Structure 1
C-alpha cells in the first residue's frame, strides 16, 4: 500500500504542473487563433484605433523618440567542447569505493562507456558470469536478423490423402502463443495469439467445406536438438524453473493452473486445441499424433503473434527465460538454418559480428537466456550491444533499449532502488541478471548533467547469504552513475 500511495502521489506531483502548462498553452492557442481569425477574415475594423492594452506593438512611439531595431540577445555562455562527456576521474572516485564492497565477492567486473562515442571511461575486471544480461545479446540479434515487424505464425493445415488425411496443428515458434484470449478486463501486452481463436477459425473453414469430423496431429518440428540445454542445471526442467523449449506450446509450457511446467508442451498445446475444436462443433476422432506436415499441405487457418519488437520489449522487461530461448532458436533458424540451442548461439554470434559488436574469445555462452552457469561474457561485449541498440542509423534495434526496466518503476527493477538516492530513479534503465552466486546489471544511465552512458556491473562470486546486500550494492553503484554530476566541466 505504501508503494501505491507513493506512486500515486508522485504521479500527481509530476503531472499537475504538466497539466497546468498544457492548459496555459491551450488557452494561449485559443486566444491566438481567435485573434488570427479576426485579422484574417477582417472581423475587426481597421479604422478602430489600437488598444494599448491588447496591441502594444501597434502603438507608435512618442514624438521625437527613436526606438532601436530589435536584435537577437547574445548567448549567456558558450558550451565548451567537453560538456556532455563523462569524466573518468569523477566516475572512478564515485565507483571505486562502492565496488570494493566485500559483499560483492572476489570477482567484480564493471565498465562504463560514453554511449555516443563508445569511449571507455571506467573499467574494472575482465569477465564474469552474466546471468540474464545474456538476454540483451538475444534481443539485439533477433531484431537484426528477423526485423522488428516480424510476426510468428501458428497454422492449421490439411495434410495427406484418403484415410491418411489429417488436420495438423503446426507450431511456428511463437513464444507467447496462449491457450485462450485474455479477458477483456485484463488486457496483456503484447497481444497474444491463442489456440481458442485458431480453433474457431479452423471450425469455420471446415464447416464451410462441409467437413464436420477429422483426425488431428501436431507438428513441432521447426526446432531441433534437445529441448533443454545440456549446459543447464539438471534440476531446472524437473523443478519447473524453465519449460522444455518447443516450437509449439501454449502459455510458455505452463499448465492452466499457472503453477509449474507441463512435461510435454507440444502435446499439451495440441490437447488444448482439440478441446477447443470440439467446443466449436468439430468432431475430433482418434488419438493425437505427432506428424510433420508436408510442403503441399492445404492451408486452413492461422493466427499470428504481436510484432517482434513488442515481444523483445516484454522479454527484457520481465526477464522471460522461455521467450528468450525461443527467440534464440528463431535466430539460429534464420541465420544458420538450425533452430536449436547450438544453432541459436551460432546465429546470435554471427548477428553480433555483422553489427560490429566486439565478440572475443573470452565471450562464451550456451543459451539465449543466461540460465547456464557456464556462460561467461566480457563487459565490452555487453557495452557493444547497448551501443548498437542506440545507433542513430538503426532505429529497428531500439526495442532493446525500450525493453530495459526503469529503476524503481518497471519490470524486474520495479521494487528495487528504494534505498538509493531518489535522483537515480528514472535515470537508470538496466537489464538485471540473477543466478545463485551471481548478480549483474547492464544498461544505460543519464546523469544529472544530461550525459548518457552505457554501463555493465557484474559480480559472480557472491556468497549465498549475502545475495540481497550484493544486489543492493550493485544498485547503489548504478544509482551513483545516474545520480551524479559526472561530466567533464560540470564543476561539481
Structure 2
C-alpha cells in the first residue's frame, strides 16, 4: 500500500504543475492578449487595426468607383503679344518707374516671351525669396521638418539645447496659437525634458545651448546696420519668436543666448534645478537625446515665407540649402547653393549674383528671365514638389503682402494675380503669375530699382497697375480686347 502511494506522488505532483501552468498561461493570455496576437483569437481592436474589423452581419457595401475629377484641365490658351503690349505699354510712359526697370511677360506653360522692356538685370529685393524657396523645396523636400533637441551628458551632468534651424520656434504654445503654420515651442520641449530626466532620477543639471548648425557671420556685411533695428535679426540656428525682443520692438543681439535663457526658465518651472546661467557650447560627443520638438514642414514654411515676405525665415532656409548640398550654412554658402540648385533645375543664372537668401542686400542682381524661370518651374506639373512656391504667393487684394494693395487699376484683376513683392528703398517689384479672363496664363516680372523718393508711392502703385493690367486683359489669342 505504501509502495503504491509512493508511485502516485510524482504523478499527482506533475498533474498539479500542469494545472498551474495552464492557469498561468490563461492569465498571461488574458493579460497580454497573447491569443489574439499569436493566433487571431478574440475581438480586433478597431483603434489599433481598423482594416481587420469586419462589417456587421448582413451589411452590403456598394462597389467603390474612382472619384470623378474635381475639375477638368483646361485647354492651353496662347498669349497674344499684341494684346499684352496694348495693356502694358501705356503704363510705361512717363518717369514714374525711374530710369532703370525691367518688365518681362512669358506664356506660363511654354515659356515663350510675349513682352519685354527695360534692363536685363535688376536689384531683385524680396523677389529673391522665389529662388530661395525653390531651392529649399528641391534640396530639402517639402515634408522635411527641423528638430530642436535636448541632449544629456551624464558624465558632466550637462544638458544641451541644440538648435536645428527651426525658423518659427516660439516660447510657449500660446505664442503660436492661431498662426499658420503650426509652431513648435520651448515650453513643451522643457516639459518633455523634465519628464525624461525624472524617469532617469535626474533633478539638477547645468545647461548649454548649441547653435553651431550654421556658420559664418550672423549679420550680412552687405546689409545696412539700421536693418537690425526693425527689419531683421542676426541669423541663427537657434532662436525663439525670430529673435524678437520682449518689448515687441526690435531684436535681441544674441538670439541663441536668448533662447537658452528662456529654456532655463522653462526647465525651472517644470521642476528641474538649473545650476548657473546657460553657456554657449556644442553638445558633447555621445550626448543622448532626451527630448525634441519638430517644426512645420518645409513646404509650409515656404508658403508662409512667401506670403508675408519673412526675411529671417528666408535666410534660415538658404542656410539649410547650403548645409544640405554639402557646403556651408553661411550667407555666402547658402546663396551660392541656392543659385547652383536653380541652375541644376534648368534655369540659366549666368550673370546673376546673390549675397543672401532674403533679398535685403542691394548688391544682389538677378535677370527677369531667372525670376520668370523659377515661377514656371513651380507651376509645372512635372515638378509637384515645388508647387508650394505657387500656392504661397500672395493673392492680389486678398492675402499676405498684397492684401491691402491693388486698390488702383481694374477690379477684374483682384484674385487673378498672384505675386511675390520686392521692396527696398528706391526698389519696387512684383514677380508672379496672372490668369486673365480669356484663359491666358502668364508669368510676369516688373521691377523698378532706381525710383526717385519723390514718387516712391506712385512707383509702387504703377507696378501694381502693370500686374493688374495683365490680370484683367483678355490677352488670349482670338479673344476680344
Aligned-pair distance for 1:241? 1.9
| Equivalent residue number for residue 220 of structure 2 | 229
1:122 is paired with a residue whose SS is strand
| Equivalent residue number for residue 340 of structure 2 | 350
Alpha-carbon distance in structure 2 between the residues aligned to 1:135 and 1:442 = 11
Alignment of 1:32-431 (within 5 A): 84-125=77-118, 126-159=120-153, 161=155, 164-182=156-174, 186-237=177-228, 239-361=229-351, 363-431=352-420
| Equivalent residue number for residue 39 of structure 2 | none
**Which segment drifts farther, 457-466 or 93-102?**
93-102
Aligned-pair distance for 1:235? 2.2
Aligned-pair distance for 1:160? 6.2
Aligned-pair distance for 1:96? 1.3
Aligned-pair distance for 1:182? 2.7
| Equivalent residue number for residue 25 of structure 1 | none
Alpha-carbon distance in structure 2 between the residues aligned to 1:295 and 1:412 = 44
Alpha-carbon distance in structure 1 between the residues aligned to 2:206 and 2:171 = 20
Alpha-carbon distance in structure 1 between the residues aligned to 2:128 and 2:326 = 20
TM-score of the pair, normalised by structure 2:
0.83
Cα distance change on mapping 1:354 and 1:295 into 2, 3 Å: farther
Alignment partner of 1:443 is 2:437 = no
Alpha-carbon distance in structure 2 between the residues aligned to 1:304 and 1:101 = 52
From 448, 453, 461, the equivalent of 2:450 is: 461
Aligned-pair distance for 1:93? 1.8
Alpha-carbon distance in structure 1 between the residues aligned to 2:230 and 2:225 = 11
Aligned-pair distance for 1:191? 0.5
Alpha-carbon distance in structure 1 between the residues aligned to 2:349 and 2:126 = 18
> CA contact under 8 A between 1:336 and 1:346: conserved in structure 2?
no
Render the CA deviation track for 1:316-344: whole Å, top value 9, x for unaligned. Answer: 00000000000000000101331000110
> CA contact under 8 A between 2:128 and 2:359: conserved in structure 1?
yes
| Equivalent residue number for residue 70 of structure 1 | none
Aligned-pair distance for 1:365? 1.4
Alignment partner of 1:476 is 2:470 = no
Deviant stretches of 4+, over 6 Å: none
1:260 is paired with a residue whose SS is coil
Aligned-pair distance for 1:137? 0.4
- Long gaps (5+) in structure 2: 1-61, 63-73
- Long gaps (5+) in structure 1: 1-39, 41-78
Alpha-carbon distance in structure 1 between the residues aligned to 2:359 and 2:436 = 29
TM-score of the pair, normalised by structure 1:
0.81
Which has the greater radius of gyration? 2
Alignment of 1:15-30 (within 5 A): none
1:102 is paired with a residue whose SS is coil
> CA contact under 8 A between 2:339 and 2:354: conserved in structure 1?
no
| Equivalent residue number for residue 45 of structure 2 | none
Alpha-carbon distance in structure 1 between the residues aligned to 2:344 and 2:258 = 38
Aligned-pair distance for 1:178? 0.5
2:205 is paired with a residue whose SS is strand
